[in-house]
Structure 1
């Protein structure tokens, strides 16, 4: 009986021992789990040093770098159109042609007018030649009769005595007296003046005739130029963006018949405030994001900066140029332009998600020994949405936390995963 009781007691001790050992192991495992659970896994990296940029993102509309409107010089019927909207054309390629019959008639009429004016010059020159001959004869007559006038005046007294003495006849005496009179001189002067006026008028007729030739020549040139302008070619390489004429219909010169866009380069026009205008530099590189192309990023160049604000909006206009050799960017698309407005070199900076705001101040968590962390107060500078410049609070040798920040406080213990290694 005693032996049986001993065996039962021994078995009971063994069972209790086993149960106790199992409970101890569970307690031990539970304690380890608790310890491991209290270590919060975070991600961090070393404080960076380098260049930090501040940016502004503005929205604008894409336009072709060059747009050319083709306007007919004269109204006419469209004979043939050789392109369609969207076609790529090369400089000098034929776009459309106008009917030439009416314009050819204008050229013929203008040529006839020119020939008539040229004939008028010949007639005027002949008239001037005749007028010159008349003047020469009048001058010779004047010179001859002026000599007689002077001779008669000088010898009138002698002829008077000869007449009284009966040596010369009364007719000779009267002729000499007439030749010596002032009326004779007046007549000679008037005859010469009339001949000179005729000559001058004839020379003026030549000038007038030549002016008529110039006018007729201008009319002919205009008509001929118009005839040449019945065929219109592409003035630049580009794409046909609009066609406003129809074959066999009238083409007006009041609106463009076609519009050609050169899009090997495109531009984005945006407006900026007075706080930004002096922070930009002409020629600086710019990022351009086209949303309709899957947020694709293109490199652009700041081409122009307006020196004066718009009087209505008080904003300054800038133009960004973007290479578009493959023509995937189309005029009219919306673009986001990322402009660098500030740059700091040799600056300490951290990821923006690492900095949090509490009690009206900026803070960051920094790794310490034995899985501990420290909350550091910061003074920050540039914040571009991705990185934040640190002015005070970090020295550059720290490892800071940027993922898991929302789960931490100053008493937290962490397991650090380095994102920069």
Structure 2
């Protein structure tokens, strides 16, 4: 039999050929290249998607708007401004002493004169303190009389050397101390007398009672401790005040003595004459207006505080104005504004001063010019710098 060749560990190993080794190296080097190519393709696709999204977002950000140009209005020599009538003087009346309301003598609508009794307050504590202070005053006066007699007596005894100089000096000093005590006691009595006088509540000036917030038996405290402690409110209305905000371009023509006419919706056909008495002499930075006070005589009492009124001023030099649709005005927290389209198709908000309201149109006295492209119907969300696309009325294409 042929002999079998023994199988060893070395005989099981199959030696690798050179070609197989080269293929493994190629695969190892090719894998990073493939990964890089895949990453590059992914970046390109992502950049294309981002550009497409940016284009879409930009298109969505462009707001289509229609614009108009302001038209020239007739120069206005009559400036109409809204206002609210105020009393010439208006004052709350508080209690000046603690106690209970015993009586009241004036109700709402009562015309009162200065010093007229409005109410009486019972304050027994003040009355008792005043009685005690007067008794103390009498006691101090008696002590002063005794000190004066004693000092004078010792002054006569010092001549005969019956008393020492020390006794004389002490009695003279006691006399001066009693004089000071008398002044303090007098001051205390005067104070309590004034407090007792405050039990009578009187009108501080001629006027009309517009509010009564107390009744018999109410406990009141001295001072203005809150609205609940206010007894009465009095208003002086024989002359009323009206405050108006005059646009800046009229401010140079506002002078003391300038005549004004007041008209009320509640009194159609009636006009009340007044005049400018003072102004703030400062332009408000937020509204670009001049605060002006007008006093209007009101002897009949027809003009009531709190009523809405329209003030007509007639400046000596008419001021030109522009007319735009009423819907073009944005009423923002900063005041009335209009949206202007710039040469770069961006929004710019401008503050304006309003003049007369004609219903569908409104007068603009300052803030814009005839060359401005005003957005006709601006949405509330327009902001400075927002991009827009101007549309024509007929075709809707860009100008």
Instruction: Please indicate the TM-score interval, normalised by the length of the shorter structure.
Output: 0.5 to 0.7
Give, in whole Å, the separation in 2 of the partners of 1:310 and 1:216.
56
Whole-angstrom distance in 1 between the partners of 2:312 and 2:196: 51
Q: How does 1:239-278 map to 2 (within 5 A)?
A: 239-255=208-224, 256-278=230-252
Instruction: Determine which of 88, 91, 94 is the counterpart of 2:117.
Output: 94
Map of 1:123-142 to 2, 5 A cutoff?
A: 123-138=146-161
Structure 1's unaligned 5+ residue stretches are 1-51, 142-190, 345-351, 356-382, 387-421
- Going from structure 1 to structure 2, the CA distance change for 1:125 and 1:335 (only over 3 Å counts) comes to same
Render the CA deviation track for 1:256-303: whole Å, top value 9, x for unaligned. Answer: 421111112111112335543331121121011223434743211112
After TM superposition, give the deviation of residue 205 of structure 1 in Å. 2.2
- Residue 210 of structure 1 is matched in structure 2 by 179
1:311–1:246 CA distance, 2 compared to 1 (3 A): farther
Contact 2:97–2:123 (CA<8 Å) still a contact in 1?
no
Distance in 1 separating the partners of 2:87 and 2:262: 15
Deviation at 1:100, TM superposition (A): 4.9
Q: Is the 8 A contact 2:240 2:296 kept in 1?
A: yes
TM-score by length of 1: 0.52
Question: Counterpart in 2 of 1:335?
Answer: 309
Counterpart of 1:231?
200
Q: TM-score, normalized by length of structure 2?
A: 0.54
Structure 1 residues 317 and 137: alpha-carbon distance in aligned structure 2, compared to 1, 3 A threshold: farther
Distance 1:203 1:326 in 2: 68
CA distance in 1, matches of 2:115, 2:310: 35
Residue 115 of structure 1, aligned match among 132, 135, 138? 138
**Count of equivalent residues:** 250
CA–CA distance in structure 2, aligned partners of residues 310 and 208 of structure 1: 62
SS at match of 1:124: helix
Equivalence for 2:191: 222
Give unpaired runs (5+ residues) of structure 2.
Answer: 1-74, 225-229, 324-354, 359-399
SS at match of 1:306: strand
Measured in 1, the distance between the counterparts of 2:174 and 2:262 equals: 70
Equivalent position of 2:71 in the other structure:
none
* Structure 2 counterpart of 1:282: 256
User: Is the 2:99–2:124 Cα contact (8 Å) retained in structure 1?
Assistant: no
Aligned CA distance change for structure 1 residues 327 and 134 (closer, same or farther; 3 Å) = same
Aligned in 2, Cα 1:107/1:273: closer, same or farther, shift over 3 Å? same
**Contact 1:94–1:231 (CA<8 Å) still a contact in 2?**
yes
**2:265 maps to 1:291:** yes
CA distance in structure 2 between the aligned counterparts of 1:311 and 1:77, rounded to whole angstroms: 50
Whether the aligned pair in 1 keeps the contact of 2:130 and 2:192 (CA below 8 Å) is yes
Q: Deviations over 1:89-147 (max 9, x none)?
A: 34443311111543322221111011111112112213322442454344xx9xxxxxx
Distance 1:307 1:261 in 2: 27
Alignment of 1:46-125 (within 5 A): 54-125=77-148
- Tell me the alpha carbon deviations over residues 163-211 of structure 1, each in whole angstroms, 9 at most, x when there is no partner: xxxxxxxxxxxxxxxxxxxxxxxxxxxx9xxx44443332232222112
Greater share of helix residues, 1 or 2?
1
The aligned counterpart of 2:329 is none
1:247 CA drift (Å): 1.2
- Mapped to 2, the partners of 1:57 and 1:102 lie a distance apart of 58
Helix, strand or coil for the counterpart of 1:299? strand
Aligned to 1:80, the other structure's residue is in SS state strand
Deviations 1:16-39 (A, max 9, x none): xxxxxxxxxxxxxxxxxxxxxxxx
Q: Which moved more, 1:293-302 or 1:216-225?
A: 293-302
Asked if structure 2 preserves the Cα contact closer than 8 Å seen for 1:55 and 1:384, the reply is no
How do 1:188-207 and structure 2 match up within 5 A?
Answer: 195-207=164-176
**Pairwise CA RMSD:** 3.7
Whole-Å separation in 1 of the counterparts to 2:91 and 2:128: 30
2:296 to 301, 307, 322: 322
